[in-house]
Amino acid sequence: MIPFTFCNDILSMIIDGKIHTVTPEHVSFGMIKRALRNNEDEKVIKLLDMGRAIEEFVNEGGQGKVFMKDGEVYYNNVVVHSSLVDHIKKMMYENFPFKHLLRFLDHLHNNPSYKSRQELWGFIQNHGLHITEDGCFLAYKAIRNNWTDKWTGLINNSVGQIVKVDRSQVNDDHNVHCSIGLHVGGLDYVTTYGNHSSGDRIIIVKVDPVNAVSVPTDANFLKLRVCEYEVLREYEDPLDKMVYTDEGEDLEEDPWGSWYDTDIELDDEDLEDDDWENFDKKYVEHMDKYNVKNHTNCPCKTNTDGYYNKRDSKGKFCR
C-alpha cells in the first residue's frame, strides 16, 4: 500500500522515497483517490504519470500563452478559473480531444472586451457550436439567394469572403437588441429570419473569438454580434463532429492523437469523482504502519509550532 495522507482535499503520497502532492485540480485526482482506496498502487503511479503526460503534451506549444502547471491552466502566467477551463479539464480527464480548446482559450483572452470573454463560451455551449483545430468556432448565418446579406443586400457573403467592419462601430451593449454589427448564431437563430421557401441560403461561417463583441439578450440569447467572419460554405448537413479542421471540414485524422500511451484501463467509476466514503479506515491502517506517536518516516508535516497532524472530529488526520 502506498503511504499517504489526505487533508484539506490534498493528497500526499510517498512513492520510492519521494513525496507526491495531488490537489483536486489534478486531471486524475478522482481516479487516484479511487485507486488508493482500492490499494491499486500500480494504477496510482500510472495516473500520476498521466497528469505529467498531459502537461508535457499541452506545453509542447501551439497554444499561444496558454500552458499547464501542477494541474492548473494558465494564461500569460496567471491561473484561469472559468467554466471553459472546467470543460477543458473534463475533456482531459475523460481522454477526449482538448488541444483545440486551449487554442480557443488563447484566442478568447486576446479579445479586448471583458464582457465578451465572459459571454462567449456560454453562448457556444448553449447553441451547440463547434471549435476548429486552430481555436476559432463555426456558426451559421442566413443570407439572400444572391449571396448578399438579408438586411442591406449590399454585403457580399460568397464562399471565401472575409466580411468585417470596424469593431468600434459594433454595439457592445447586450441590452440593446437590434443594433449595428455582423450577426451570426446557431441553426435555431438563422431559421427565425431565413426563409428557405423564398430562396434564402444558410451559410457556415468561421469566427475568431477575438472578434466576438456581444450576445444580445433578446430572442433568448440566440444571436451573436461580431466584427468579422469568414464564409466557409453553404449549409447542407448539421455540424456534429467534436473538432473541425481550420477550414471547417471533417477531420480525417484521429482527433484524439496519441498524447498518452498507456495500458491502464478505466471503467465508468473511474470517470466519476466520489466522496471517498468510509475512507477513514484507510487513514488508520496507513498510520498504524508507521510509528504514529513519534511520526517516524511518516509523510505528515509539522507546522511552525512543531505540532503534528491530528485527527479531527471525524477521525481524519489534518493540521
Angle at the Cα of 99 from the Cα atoms of 12 and 205, rounded to 5 degrees? 150
Work out the pLDDT band at 219, boundaries 50, 70, 90. low
- What is the rounded distance in angstroms from the CA atom of residue 191 to the CA atom of residue 178? 17
Which of 44, 29, 10, 16 is closest to 309 using CA atoms?
A: 10
What pLDDT sits at residue 27? 64
pLDDT mean over 123-133:
92
DSSP 3-state percent helix, strand, coil across the chain (nearest 5): 30, 25, 50
Cell 450576445 sits at which residue? 215
Angle at the Cα of 42 from the Cα atoms of 39 and 47, rounded to 5 degrees? 100
Work out the pLDDT band at 84, boundaries 50, 70, 90. very high
Would you tell me how many other CB atoms lie within 10 Å of the CB of residue 96? 14
Identify the helix (H) or strand (E) that includes residue 201: strand 201-207
Would you tell me how many other CB atoms lie within 10 Å of the CB of residue 199? 9
Phi, psi of 196 (to 5 degrees): -65, -35
Q: What is the 3-state secondary structure (H, E, C) of 144-183?
A: CCCCEECCCCCCECCCCCEEECCHHHCCCCCCCCCCCCEE
Query: Radius of gyration over alpha carbons of the chain, in Å?
Result: 25
DSSP annotation of 97 reads: -
pLDDT mean over 140-168:
95
Residues 86-97: tens digit of each pLDDT: 898 888 767 788
Residues 220-274: tens digit of each pLDDT: 678 899 999 999 999 998 888 888 999 988 876 555 444 444 444 555 455 444 4
- Cβ neighbors of 46 (< 8 A, separation 6 or more) are 262, 264
- What is the rounded distance in angstroms from the CA atom of residue 255 to the CA atom of residue 70? 25
CA distances from 40 to 2, 13, 48 (A): 9, 13, 13
- Select the more confidently predicted residue: 146 or 266: 146
What pLDDT sits at residue 146? 96
Cell digits for 184?
451570426
pLDDT of 194 higher than 90: no
Would you tell me how many other CB atoms lie within 10 Å of the CB of residue 236? 7
Across the chain, mean pLDDT equals: 78
Of the listed ranges 113-117, 137-141, 179-183, the one predicted with least confidence = 179-183
What pLDDT sits at residue 261? 43
